[in-house]
Protein backbone atom coordinates (compact mmCIF):
# COMPACT_ATOMS: atom_id res chain seq x y z
CA UNK A 1 0.00 0.00 0.00
CA UNK A 2 1.48 3.37 -0.96
CA UNK A 3 1.60 6.31 1.51
CA UNK A 4 -1.24 8.19 -0.20
CA UNK A 5 -3.53 5.17 0.16
CA UNK A 6 -2.56 4.80 3.83
CA UNK A 7 -3.39 8.47 4.49
CA UNK A 8 -6.78 8.08 2.81
CA UNK A 9 -7.50 5.09 5.05
CA UNK A 10 -6.83 6.93 8.31
CA UNK A 11 -8.11 10.44 7.49
CA UNK A 12 -11.85 10.59 8.25
CA UNK A 13 -14.05 12.12 5.55
CA UNK A 14 -17.60 13.41 5.50
CA UNK A 15 -19.82 14.67 2.67
CA UNK A 16 -23.36 15.98 2.41
CA UNK A 17 -25.57 17.87 -0.03
CA UNK A 18 -26.96 21.00 1.69
CA UNK A 19 -29.77 21.60 -0.80
CA UNK A 20 -31.43 19.89 -3.72
CA UNK A 21 -29.68 22.02 -6.33
CA UNK A 22 -26.55 22.77 -4.30
CA UNK A 23 -23.10 21.28 -4.76
CA UNK A 24 -21.80 18.54 -2.48
CA UNK A 25 -19.80 19.71 0.55
CA UNK A 26 -16.82 17.48 1.34
CA UNK A 27 -14.54 17.51 4.37
CA UNK A 28 -11.44 15.50 5.31
CA UNK A 29 -9.52 15.52 8.59
CA UNK A 30 -5.82 15.61 7.81
CA UNK A 31 -3.08 15.34 10.48
CA UNK A 32 -2.80 19.13 10.94
CA UNK A 33 -5.81 20.61 9.14
CA UNK A 34 -9.34 20.12 7.90
CA UNK A 35 -9.53 20.09 4.10
CA UNK A 36 -12.81 21.26 2.59
CA UNK A 37 -14.43 21.55 -0.79
CA UNK A 38 -17.76 23.33 -1.21
CA UNK A 39 -18.75 23.32 -4.86
CA UNK A 40 -15.93 24.93 -6.82
CA UNK A 41 -14.36 26.44 -3.69
CA UNK A 42 -11.82 24.52 -1.66
CA UNK A 43 -9.25 25.11 1.02
CA UNK A 44 -7.51 23.87 4.11
CA UNK A 45 -7.95 25.20 7.64
CA UNK A 46 -5.29 24.41 10.22
CA UNK A 47 -6.64 23.12 13.52
CA UNK A 48 -4.58 25.61 15.53
CA UNK A 49 -6.08 28.52 13.54
CA UNK A 50 -9.69 27.68 14.38
CA UNK A 51 -11.11 30.44 16.59
CA UNK A 52 -14.59 29.10 17.35
CA UNK A 53 -16.81 26.03 16.98
CA UNK A 54 -20.55 26.00 17.59
CA UNK A 55 -22.78 22.91 17.72
CA UNK A 56 -26.53 23.31 17.41
CA UNK A 57 -29.81 21.54 16.77
CA UNK A 58 -31.45 23.04 13.68
CA UNK A 59 -34.63 21.29 12.51
CA UNK A 60 -36.18 22.38 9.23
CA UNK A 61 -39.59 21.79 7.68
CA UNK A 62 -38.77 18.49 5.98
CA UNK A 63 -36.21 17.23 8.49
CA UNK A 64 -36.93 17.57 12.20
CA UNK A 65 -33.75 15.75 13.23
CA UNK A 66 -30.97 18.00 11.91
CA UNK A 67 -27.73 19.14 13.55
CA UNK A 68 -25.16 21.72 12.44
CA UNK A 69 -21.49 22.30 13.27
CA UNK A 70 -20.13 25.77 12.48
CA UNK A 71 -16.39 26.46 12.33
CA UNK A 72 -14.79 29.90 12.25
CA UNK A 73 -11.18 30.62 11.37
CA UNK A 74 -9.33 33.77 10.31
CA UNK A 75 -8.87 34.05 6.57
CA UNK A 76 -11.38 31.36 5.59
CA UNK A 77 -15.16 31.40 5.21
CA UNK A 78 -17.36 29.98 7.96
CA UNK A 79 -17.61 26.22 7.45
CA UNK A 80 -20.89 24.42 8.09
CA UNK A 81 -21.18 20.66 8.52
CA UNK A 82 -24.77 19.37 8.51
CA UNK A 83 -26.10 16.00 9.67
CA UNK A 84 -28.51 15.47 6.76
CA UNK A 85 -28.09 15.33 2.99
CA UNK A 86 -30.62 15.96 0.24
CA UNK A 87 -31.38 12.91 -1.90
CA UNK A 88 -34.42 14.03 -3.87
CA UNK A 89 -37.07 16.75 -3.93
CA UNK A 90 -38.99 15.03 -1.13
CA UNK A 91 -36.27 13.19 0.80
CA UNK A 92 -33.34 14.06 3.02
CA UNK A 93 -31.04 11.32 4.30
CA UNK A 94 -29.99 11.32 7.94
CA UNK A 95 -26.25 10.76 8.40
CA UNK A 96 -26.33 10.49 12.20
CA UNK A 97 -23.57 7.94 12.76
CA UNK A 98 -21.10 9.40 10.23
CA UNK A 99 -21.78 12.97 11.36
CA UNK A 100 -21.32 12.20 15.07
CA UNK A 101 -18.10 10.25 14.45
CA UNK A 102 -16.65 12.97 12.21
CA UNK A 103 -17.50 15.86 14.55
CA UNK A 104 -16.20 13.96 17.60
CA UNK A 105 -12.91 13.23 15.83
CA UNK A 106 -12.68 16.87 14.71
CA UNK A 107 -12.97 17.92 18.36
CA UNK A 108 -10.25 15.44 19.36
CA UNK A 109 -7.88 16.87 16.75
CA UNK A 110 -8.68 20.47 17.67
CA UNK A 111 -7.88 19.71 21.32
CA UNK A 112 -4.64 17.96 20.37
CA UNK A 113 -3.56 20.96 18.25
CA UNK A 114 -3.57 23.15 21.36
CA UNK A 115 -5.31 26.10 19.72
CA UNK A 116 -7.40 28.76 21.40
CA UNK A 117 -10.79 27.87 19.90
CA UNK A 118 -13.93 28.75 21.85
CA UNK A 119 -16.41 25.85 21.91
CA UNK A 120 -20.10 26.69 22.34
CA UNK A 121 -23.53 25.22 21.75
CA UNK A 122 -26.88 26.53 20.70
CA UNK A 123 -27.91 29.96 19.51
CA UNK A 124 -26.12 33.28 20.08
CA UNK A 125 -27.09 34.58 23.54
CA UNK A 126 -29.15 37.60 22.40
CA UNK A 127 -31.02 35.60 19.73
CA UNK A 128 -31.71 32.83 22.24
CA UNK A 129 -33.22 35.09 24.91
CA UNK A 130 -35.33 37.06 22.42
CA UNK A 131 -36.67 33.73 21.18
CA UNK A 132 -37.38 32.49 24.72
CA UNK A 133 -39.30 35.69 25.57
CA UNK A 134 -41.39 35.45 22.37
CA UNK A 135 -42.00 31.73 22.99
CA UNK A 136 -43.10 32.45 26.58
CA UNK A 137 -45.48 35.19 25.39
CA UNK A 138 -47.04 32.87 22.79
CA UNK A 139 -47.45 30.14 25.41
CA UNK A 140 -49.19 32.53 27.83
CA UNK A 141 -51.50 33.83 25.10
CA UNK A 142 -52.37 30.29 24.00
CA UNK A 143 -53.06 29.20 27.60
CA UNK A 144 -55.33 32.22 28.01
CA UNK A 145 -57.27 31.19 24.88
CA UNK A 146 -57.74 27.67 26.24
CA UNK A 147 -59.04 29.02 29.57
CA UNK A 148 -61.34 31.53 27.85
CA UNK A 149 -62.78 28.84 25.54
CA UNK A 150 -63.40 26.64 28.59
CA UNK A 151 -65.16 29.45 30.46
CA UNK A 152 -67.43 30.01 27.44
CA UNK A 153 -68.04 26.24 27.31
CA UNK A 154 -66.61 26.05 23.79
CA UNK A 155 -65.24 22.56 24.36
CA UNK A 156 -64.33 21.84 20.72
CA UNK A 157 -62.40 25.08 20.38
CA UNK A 158 -60.81 24.55 23.78
CA UNK A 159 -59.66 21.04 22.81
CA UNK A 160 -58.29 22.24 19.44
CA UNK A 161 -56.35 25.14 20.93
CA UNK A 162 -55.15 22.88 23.77
CA UNK A 163 -53.84 20.31 21.27
CA UNK A 164 -52.05 23.04 19.34
CA UNK A 165 -50.63 24.31 22.63
CA UNK A 166 -49.17 20.91 23.56
CA UNK A 167 -47.63 20.21 20.14
CA UNK A 168 -46.17 23.70 19.85
CA UNK A 169 -44.86 23.66 23.43
CA UNK A 170 -43.13 20.30 22.89
CA UNK A 171 -41.52 21.13 19.54
CA UNK A 172 -40.41 24.68 20.25
CA UNK A 173 -39.55 23.92 23.87
CA UNK A 174 -37.31 21.07 22.73
CA UNK A 175 -35.62 23.42 20.25
CA UNK A 176 -34.82 26.00 22.92
CA UNK A 177 -33.77 23.35 25.45
CA UNK A 178 -31.24 21.81 23.04
CA UNK A 179 -30.00 25.20 21.82
CA UNK A 180 -29.38 26.97 25.11
CA UNK A 181 -26.06 28.86 24.91
CA UNK A 182 -23.28 27.01 26.73
CA UNK A 183 -19.51 26.68 26.65
CA UNK A 184 -17.93 23.24 26.71
CA UNK A 185 -14.56 21.50 26.50
CA UNK A 186 -13.74 19.63 23.27
CA UNK A 187 -13.42 16.38 25.23
CA UNK A 188 -16.87 16.81 26.81
CA UNK A 189 -19.41 17.50 24.05
CA UNK A 190 -22.83 18.11 25.69
CA UNK A 191 -25.83 15.91 25.03
CA UNK A 192 -28.50 17.23 22.70
CA UNK A 193 -26.28 18.82 20.05
CA UNK A 194 -25.11 15.60 18.39
CA UNK A 195 -27.43 12.92 17.03
CA UNK A 196 -27.39 9.63 18.89
CA UNK A 197 -25.60 7.18 16.63
Domain 3-122, second-level architecture: Roll (2.30)
- pLDDT digits 0-9 by tens, 33-78: 999 999 889 999 999 999 999 999 988 766 678 999 999 998 888 9
Domain positions in the chain: 3-122, 125-175
Average pLDDT, the chain: 86
pLDDT for 7 = 47
Rounded to whole angstroms, how far apart are CA atoms 4 and 13? Answer: 15
Rounded to whole angstroms, how far apart are CA atoms 71 and 63? Answer: 22
- pLDDT digits 0-9 by tens, 120-165: 999 899 999 999 999 889 888 888 877 777 777 777 777 777 787 7
Amino acid sequence: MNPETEDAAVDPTYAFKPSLMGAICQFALRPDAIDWQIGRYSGSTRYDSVSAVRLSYRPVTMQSHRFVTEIWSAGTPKLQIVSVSWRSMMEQQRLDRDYSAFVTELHRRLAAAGGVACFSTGLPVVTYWIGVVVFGAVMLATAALVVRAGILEQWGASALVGLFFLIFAYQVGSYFYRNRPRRYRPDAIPDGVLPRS
